[in-house]
Amino acid sequence: MTIDEIMRSAPVVPVLVLEADEDWAKLAETFVAAGLPVLEVTLRTSIALDAIRRMASVPGAIVGAGTVLNGRQLDEAVEAGAKFLVSPGLTEPLAKAAERSGAAYLPGVATAGDIMRGLDLGLDRFKFFPAEASGGISALKALSGPFGAIRFCPTGGVRPDNAAEWLAMEAVLCVGGTWLYRAGDNLNEVSERARAASSLRH
């Protein structure tokens, strides 16, 4: 799948920081059943790669790795079954490594300069990060003006009470949501949150 296809698969991408060992396949099944098949597992914890392996086996789940900082992490994530890669920023070595890997890639940007560097590397889909700290909706509206064909996934400060406002922007294909799962959450509660998020379509 291309990064554009992945971004259009669901309005909200759960951004998951996984700590205690749990049934990750069951968590992925819960999200898929609720209408959020695209899952970003951040490489911030020691169990992230194992969780990606287990989630990637779930039918319908589109599992990716977030917080990818370098080529080594990229290779490990792809080997674990990640279908897409998300990084907090944009560097040429990482962008080229992602291209070589064949996995879909979503680099983080916060400025016009970041976007122009991405365009030079043949990229036109970006994570706007950290979205709220970088000026929020008004900043992305101003940024997207000169870059008409560029599309974004804002992440960082996107919440249930403002997600619909982000998604109403033409330049936004989806948002990253950190509110959908916390360690120890009851899966029924996760399902409820996910169903509410999946209904936030354009």
Q: Is 100 helix (H, G, I), strand (E, B) or coil?
A: helix
CA–CA dist 35, 54 (Å, integer): 19
The answer to whether 105 touches 123, Cβ cutoff 8 Å, is yes
Average pLDDT of span 189-201: 96
Query: Taking the mean position of all CA atoms in its chain, how far away is CA 99?
Result: 18
Average pLDDT of span 41-57: 97
CA–CA dist 174, 191 (Å, integer): 19
Grade residue 17 by pLDDT with cuts at 50, 70 and 90.
very high
**pLDDT given at position 194:** 98
Tell me which of 5, 26, 29, 40 is the catalytic residue. Answer: 40
Grade residue 82 by pLDDT with cuts at 50, 70 and 90.
very high
**pLDDT given at position 20:** 85
Tell me which of 22, 26, 92, 127 is the catalytic residue. Answer: 127
Domain ranges of the chain: 3-198
The residues that bridge with 12 in the sheet, in sequence order, are 175
132-181, pLDDT tens digit by residue? Answer: 999 999 999 999 999 999 999 999 999 999 999 999 999 999 999 999 99
Grade residue 202 by pLDDT with cuts at 50, 70 and 90.
low
CA–CA dist 157, 179 (Å, integer): 10
The answer to whether 155 touches 147, Cβ cutoff 8 Å, is no
Record the pTM: 0.97
Does the domain spanning 3-198 belong to CATH 3.40.50.150?
Answer: no
28-38, pLDDT tens digit by residue? Answer: 999 999 999 99
Residue with the two structure tokens 């990482």:
94
CA–CA dist 124, 158 (Å, integer): 21
**pLDDT given at position 185:** 93
Greater confidence (21 vs 74) lies with 74
**In the structure encoding, which two tokens stand for residue 110, read together?**
């916060």
- Is residue 40 among the annotated active site residues? yes
Average pLDDT of span 63-88: 98
86-132, pLDDT tens digit by residue? Answer: 999 999 999 999 999 999 999 999 999 999 999 999 999 999 999 99
HSE-CB of 150 using CA atoms within 13 angstroms: 28
CA-nearest of 114, 84, 118, 81 to 98 is: 84
Q: Residue 42: which H helix or E strand, with range?
A: strand 38-42
Residue type, 21: D
**pLDDT given at position 21:** 86
CA-nearest of 136, 165, 169 to 151 is: 169
